Amino acid sequence: MKKSINILFSLVIAAGLVSCNNGNDRKSSKGQGGLSTNAAERVYVAPGELDEYYAFMSGGFSGQLSVYGLPSGRMLKVLPVFSQNPENGYGYTEETKPMLNTSYGFVPWDDSHHPDISQTNGELDGRWIFINGNNTPRIARIGLQNFKTEEIIEIPNSAGNHSSSFITENTEYVVAGTRFSVPIPQKDMPINEYKGNFKGSLTFISVDQETGRMGIKFQLIMPGFNYDLSHPGRDKSHGWFFFTTYNTEEAHSLLEVNASQNDKDFIAAINWKKIEEYVNNGGGKMVPANYAHNVMDEHTHSATSTMLKEVLTVNPMDVPGAVYFLPTPKSPHGCDVDPTGEYIIGNGKLSADLTVHSFTKMLDAIENKKFDGEAYGIPILNFEDILAGVVKQPGLGPLHTEFDEHGNAYTTFFISSEVVKWKVGTWEVLDRQPVFYSVGHGMIPGGNSRKPFGKYFVALNKITKDRYLPTGPELTQSAQLFDITGDKMELLLDFPTIGEPHYAAAIPAEMIAKNSRKIYKLAENKHPYASFTNADAKVVREGKDVHIYMNMIRSHFNPDNIEGVKVGDKVYFHITNLEQDFDVPHGFAVIGANNAEMLIMPGATETLVWEPKEVGVWPFYCTDFCSALHQEMQGYVRVSPADSDIELSWSLGED
């Protein structure tokens, strides 16, 4: 307890020191945002005009991925990923329920953190975006043609899937590291035997370049530290991956104190090319596992979930020269690599300085075996030998760094609530701007790639307080947009976000807008329960299951009246939207459904299950105002007693 008070005390002191430096700036800049400039003009996207960038912001504890336009800060869509979404039926329809299957059964929620857009040669290519589920470890792939979650793979032997999902520069791998170390395999054991017995897994998931299909290539089983964040090498350091660690003390209780004792933790440098080669030559150990692999088929509009039963693990000791530890001060959080691939920035969150490692010096130290001991057999490099430079006293609580294309870095500071621009190479601080309040990640479009588009910087803030009209104790989340084209960063706009916006990724709109799908072609619909014409609309009983092959077009359901359903039946509404026109979805809702509505895109088929519990005549209707006769788009199901002998019948347009 005494220690933690000391830490708090020193933080307060340090905060005081920093605010002495720029307290005046700070006060005067509260509520800034360009009344004196033309900031409003620069974020104004006139009616009918379109934004310049798509920004994909993590939905945090909503489990989803939100899509914003920049510079307007307008929300365009929330894409359901790890959480059920009653708004369109994701996770409720028969087709999408398998997407949320896991080894723990159906998990309807997660905490989504770090979106990353696919790359080719280290540059954004806009094929897919990946995001991690933190709580029940999973990685999702969202296709940027359909803006739809197409695949989710569970990560075995992981817990708190936080140092994820970051991709190598040709999207060879999506990488997922565990935050919590755990017994591998899981077993019943005393928690206080953590040290030496718990392990941390770093998972390399290969990506098929044509289909995007993911598969776990190998899991590296590392010492029992916490693996916080990670970043792939770029350009010259391509082939390496860097993970920040904390709790190298391997404490298992009151981590806020006990994991903050070491002067330095590590950045783990992983030569994944070397491990890939080892694995390709038959290396590694296949061990039993149980994890779900869920895939959405674009043509059947249906997901399947497959349980996979083994995973290839690699002990770093078995691949000499593949793993090294780079000592990095004080519980580094973000781990970022500059666009040239030379500099590895460790954002030591409890340090007053920013540590920058040199990739060239790292290789040299490895070559010359300049080691400073080892941990669990993994060589620790000498801090001074690999140090490229230190950004001195830039602020308090550095978390993350992004880059522009002019050799500048932008680091976020949680405690001192600011973003600091500094020069890569000279380590000189160029500018600092307050954020409101306590920024977590920052994001520049392409700012973690070889080719940043350094026009805007988005601060993804952790604390909202008084920035918007109050809405009771629970507030919106908050982001801020800066113009970074000048010498000084300039705050242009505040905008609210969903969930907690952890990381984000943005891409020039023209790279993906042109590929965005308008409709699904009926001719390509391979759903087994699709109905395309009046002739194949029908109702079929299979025991207690009643399958309704229904279709819909402005402005009716076919069939619209159904009789012969009985109490105790399980009724499947398989509905095909026959529209082939842009932006004409139809919805479907039926009274008393214990799940949700479903929204059916033109050309798609979706299925909602309804279990009628009472005798009566029960209505259903279209929920999406589709046409002038939307309100006429309705129908009835007659539900008879369980022992009734009324035969199934259905009709449309009969008097």
Q: Which residues bind to Cu ion, rule: CB under 5 A? A: 586, 622, 626, 633
Using the rule CB under 8 A, is 46 a contact of other proteins?
no
Which regions of 376-514 does DSSP assign to beta strands (E)? Answer: 378-381, 387-391, 398-403, 408-413, 418-423, 429-434, 439-443, 456-461, 477-483, 490-497, 504-508
Of residues 468 and 625, the one with the C-beta less far from other proteins: 625
Contacts (Cβ under 8 Å, ≥6 apart) of 415: 11, 15, 395, 396, 397, 438
Residue 190 near which of other proteins, Cu ion, none (CB within 5-8 Å, type-dependent): none
Strand partners, 243: 230, 268
Of residues 421 and 586, the one with the C-beta less far from Cu ion: 586
Using the rule CB under 8 A, is 628 a contact of other proteins?
yes
CB of 632 to other proteins, least distance (A): 9
Of residues 569 and 579, the one with the C-beta less far from other proteins: 579
CB of 635 to other proteins, least distance (A): 17
SS (H, E, C) 339-405: CCCCEEEEEECCCCCEEEEEHHHHHHHHHCCCEEEEECCEEEECHHHHEEEEECCCCCCEEEEEECC
Residue 553 near which of Cu ion, other proteins, none (CB within 5-8 Å, type-dependent): other proteins
Whether the upstream peptide bond of residue 559 has omega within 30° of 0, thus cis, is yes
Using the rule CB under 8 A, is 554 a contact of other proteins?
yes
Of residues 489 and 600, the one with the C-beta less far from Cu ion: 600
Q: Are the C-beta atoms of residues 402 and 410 closer than 8 Å to each other?
A: yes
Q: How would you label 361-384 residue by residue, b for 16+ Cβ within 10 Å and e otherwise?
A: bbeebbeeeebeeeeeebbbbebe
The CA-CA-CA angle for residues 95, 130, 209, to 5°, reads 90
**Rama region for 423: left / alpha / beta (φ>0; ψ in -120 to 50; rest):** beta
Termini Cα distance of the chain:
80
Residue 633 near which of Cu ion, other proteins, none (CB within 5-8 Å, type-dependent): Cu ion
Position 440, amino acid: G
Of residues 319 and 622, the one with the C-beta less far from Cu ion: 622
Using the rule CB under 8 A, is 553 a contact of other proteins?
yes
Of residues 12 and 629, the one with the C-beta less far from other proteins: 629
Q: Are the C-beta atoms of residues 228 and 333 closer than 8 Å to each other?
A: yes
Residue 586 near which of other proteins, Cu ion, none (CB within 5-8 Å, type-dependent): Cu ion
Using the rule CB under 8 A, is 524 a contact of other proteins?
no
Structure tokens, 507: 């891409």
User: What's the rounded Cα separation, in Å, for the pair 261 and 133?
Assistant: 30
Residue 415 near which of Cu ion, other proteins, none (CB within 5-8 Å, type-dependent): none
Using the rule CB under 8 A, is 145 a contact of other proteins?
no
Using the rule CB under 8 A, is 111 a contact of other proteins?
no
Structure tokens, 367: 């070559």
Position 342, amino acid: E
Q: CB atoms < 10 A from the CB of 234, how many? A: 25
Of residues 424 and 626, the one with the C-beta less far from Cu ion: 626
Local structure of 278: helix, strand or coil: helix
Residue 579 near which of other proteins, Cu ion, none (CB within 5-8 Å, type-dependent): other proteins
Near other proteins in 565-604, by CB under 8 A: 579-582
CA atoms within a 13 Å half-sphere pointing along the CA-CB vector of 543: 1
Of residues 491 and 633, the one with the C-beta less far from other proteins: 633
CB of 556 to other proteins, least distance (A): 11
Using the rule CB under 8 A, is 50 a contact of other proteins?
no
Of residues 495 and 520, the one with the C-beta less far from other proteins: 520
Of residues 315 and 580, the one with the C-beta less far from other proteins: 580
# residues near other proteins by CB under 8 A: 9
CB of 622 to Cu ion, least distance (A): 3
Using the rule CB under 8 A, is 519 a contact of other proteins?
yes
Contacts (Cβ under 8 Å, ≥6 apart) of 204: 173, 175, 216, 217, 218, 219, 220, 272, 275, 276
Of residues 93 and 101, the one with the C-beta less far from Cu ion: 93
Burial class (CB in 10 A: 0-12, 13-18, 19+), 295: buried
Q: What does the per-residue mask of binding to other proteins show for 70-109, with x meaning CB under 8 A?
A: ----------------------------------------
Q: Please select the residue that binds other proteins; options are 5, 307, 629, 642, rule is CB under 8 A.
A: 629
CB of 278 to other proteins, least distance (A): 50
Residue 622 near which of other proteins, Cu ion, none (CB within 5-8 Å, type-dependent): Cu ion
Residue 626 near which of other proteins, Cu ion, none (CB within 5-8 Å, type-dependent): Cu ion
Closest CA to 349 of 277, 413, 397, 406: 397
Using the rule CB under 8 A, is 374 a contact of other proteins?
no
Question: What is the binding site for other proteins (CB under 8 A)?
Answer: 519, 553-554, 579-582, 628-629
